[in-house]
Amino acid sequence: GIQVEQSPPDLILQEGANSTLRCNFSDSVNNLQWFHQNPWGQLINLFYIPSGTKQNGRLSATTVATERYSLLYISSSQTTDSGVYFCAVDNYGQNFVFGPGTRLSVLP
């Protein structure tokens, strides 16, 4: 089945810093989503982005489907950005395959 890798596994930032999270996948996909999991376990939708570029406030994402990777950019990070960020892909099946996540800690 499709493999999903995320890097870095852990990231510690000072408030106000920028960061880039990466998701690599091993096969073509027809769906890719980025999620933020808060400390209570809720998965919050950030982007639905099987290809192209999207922006939402301080967050933006780019997926280059032909090269099998996606990037999530966080600018001017805030302490509330802390948590685990997951990339999940669907390669024409019925289910999402999640990456292992990037754990982000933003320090005040």
Binding site for another protein (CB under 8 A): 30-31, 33, 35, 40-43, 45, 48, 50, 86, 88, 90, 92-101
Q: In angstroms, give the least distance from the CB of 64 to another protein.
A: 17
Residue 13: alpha-carbon gap to chain centroid: 16
Residue 94 neighbours by CB under 8 Å, 6+ apart? none
Q: Which is nearer to another protein, 27 or 92 (CB)?
A: 92
Q: In angstroms, give the least distance from the CB of 42 to another protein.
A: 5
Neighbours of 16 (CB within 10 A): 11
